[in-house]
């Protein structure tokens, strides 16, 4: 689901009959509304919006409207580093699809003027979304998974579940506490060894833990690796010393957005962004194996891999 594997583990003594089916049906509903994958979901509302670009507004469901509205708000929060109108560039690169390739500079130059979240027109009264220029396209891949995780956790709670862990391809959400009443311990994936290897442990309760890294979705062409997080200012995958960014917050959509934006911005600007948002904590890992942890998380963070070392945020920000 959502282009990844989705796992929910419930630890309560009493589990309502059919709860897993209801939760995963809800996730599929969200995907069917918001996917940009025309092969699997040709009639999604996001695709309908994109097909009507430059022509007419499209009425959408409350779920899709809420995610697009949040996407516009978070695009503004990140000064457009995260931009839900990035669809034209995402389509050009095709990363994670059979048509992934490196676009020409002419294609990138032509696509960039179509990307501007501030031009998206939304009408709350009629619940419509309009893209004013043909060729514009919304892509909510950087926020919809967080929304789905949050909705799944909300449904579990409404059914009386008080202890659970949800893992949607690296978007982790913890419900309540462990059966022994301690905080959940979430492993921070190693950028070197991938899934199964961890470099640190984060304690969590009723929070979302989302990691963005260049080692998950990528392709290699002419010996160069291209990952899926596009820097809109260049039209190419972001390049910096940062190899992973983890954002931790109660709001899963915000964690989703800020882990991506932090990665694209790089170490200094990424740290500055996360530190401007008081309800979010963050972890930055660099290619020389330094690990930077924001102050509000340090008491719930433990480095476990001796190959990595904690570093001072002040050394980067000059405070």
Whether 96 shows a pLDDT value over 80: the answer reads no
Instruction: Tell me if 230 is assigned to some domain.
Output: yes
pLDDT at 194: 54
Q: What tokens were used for 23?
A: 């939760």
Q: Which domain holds residue 223?
A: 183-317
Contact between residue 224 and residue 256 where contact means Cβ atoms under 8 Å apart:
no
Any domain includes 281: yes
Q: Is 172 within a domain? A: no
Measured N-to-C along each axis, helices 267-276 and 252-265 cross at an angle, to the nearest 10 degrees, of 150
Tokens 């109660």, located at residue? 250
Strand 121-123 relative to strand 218-221, pairing? unpaired
Q: Is the Cβ–Cβ distance between 64 and 127 less than 8 Å?
A: no
Structural contact between residues 277 and 247, judged by C-beta atoms closer than 8 angstroms: no
pLDDT per residue over 7-28, tens digit each?
A: 999 999 889 999 999 999 999 9
What's the CATH code of the domain at 240? 3.10.520.10
Per-residue confidence band for 94, with pLDDT thresholds at 50, 70 and 90 = confident
| 241 CA to centre of own chain | 20
Q: Tell me, what's the pLDDT at 39?
A: 84
Is the pLDDT assigned to residue 1 strictly greater than 90?
A: no
Residue 33 lies in a domain: no
What is the DSSP-derived secondary structure letter of residue 169? T
Distances (CA, A) of 222 to 7, 105, 228: 36, 17, 17
Cα within 13 Å of Cα(166), Cβ side: 30
Provide the domain count of the chain: 1
Secondary structure (3-state) at 76: helix
Q: Is 262 domain-assigned?
A: yes
Residue 284 contacts by C-beta under 8 Å, 6 or more apart in sequence?
A: 242, 244, 245, 262, 267, 270, 271, 291, 292
Q: Which pairing describes strands 218-221 and 208-213: parallel, antiparallel, or unpaired?
A: unpaired
Please state, in angstroms and rounded to a whole number, the distance separating the CA atoms of residues 131 and 118. Answer: 10
pLDDT at 217: 72
Per-residue DSSP letter, 103:
P
pLDDT (average), residues 54-71? 98
What is d(CA 27, CA 88) in angstroms, rounded to the nearest whole number?
26
Distance CA 170, CA 255 (A): 12
The pair of structure tokens assigned to 109 is 């130059």
Give the tens place of pLDDT for each residue, 189-236.
888 765 568 999 999 999 999 998 876 677 788 788 878 889 999 999
- Is 279 domain-assigned? yes
Q: How many CB atoms lie within 10 A of CB 111?
A: 23
What is the model's pTM? Answer: 0.93
Residues in the chain: 319
Judge whether 200 lies within some domain.
Answer: yes
Asked whether residue 220 is domain-assigned, the answer is yes
Q: Are 156 and 23 in contact (CB under 8 A)?
A: yes
């Amino acid at each position: 689901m959502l282009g990844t594997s989705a796992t929910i583990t419930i630890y309560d003594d009493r589990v309502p009959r059919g709860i897993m089916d209801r939760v995963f049906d809800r996730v599929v509903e969200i995907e069917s509304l918001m996917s940009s994958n025309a092969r699997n979901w040709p009639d999604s509302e996001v695709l309908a919006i994109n097909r009507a670009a430059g022509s007419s507004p499209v009425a959408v469901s409350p779920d899709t409207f809420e995610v697009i509205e949040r996407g516009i708000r978070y695009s503004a929060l990140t000064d457009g580093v995260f931009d839900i109108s990035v669809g034209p560039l995402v389509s050009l690169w095709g990363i994670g699809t059979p048509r992934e390739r490196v676009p020409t500079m002419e294609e990138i130059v032509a696509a960039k003027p179509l990307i501007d979240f501030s031009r998206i027109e939304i009408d709350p009264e009629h619940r419509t979304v309009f893209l004013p220029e043909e060729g514009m396209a919304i892509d909510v891949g950087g926020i919809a998974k967080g929304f789905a995780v949050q909705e799944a956790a909300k449904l579990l709670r409404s059914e009386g579940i008080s202890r659970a862990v949800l893992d949607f391809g690296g978007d982790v959400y913890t419900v309540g506490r462990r059966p022994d009443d301690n905080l959940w311990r979430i492993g921070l994936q190693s950028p070197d060894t991938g899934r199964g290897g961890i470099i640190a442990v984060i304690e969590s309760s009723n929070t979302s833990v989302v990691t963005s890294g260049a080692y998950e979705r990528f392709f290699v062409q002419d010996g160069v690796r291209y990952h899926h997080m596009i820097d809109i200012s260049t039209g190419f995958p972001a390049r910096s010393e940062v190899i992973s960014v983890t954002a931790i917050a109660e709001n899963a959509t915000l964690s989703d957005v800020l882990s991506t934006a932090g990665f694209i911005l790089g170490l200094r600007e990424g740290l500055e962004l996360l530190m401007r948002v008081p309800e979010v904590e963050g972890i930055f890992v660099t290619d020389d194996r330094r690990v930077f942890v924001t102050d509000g998380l340090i008491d719930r963070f433990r480095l476990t891999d001796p190959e990595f070392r904690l570093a001072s945020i002040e050394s980067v920000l000059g405070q």
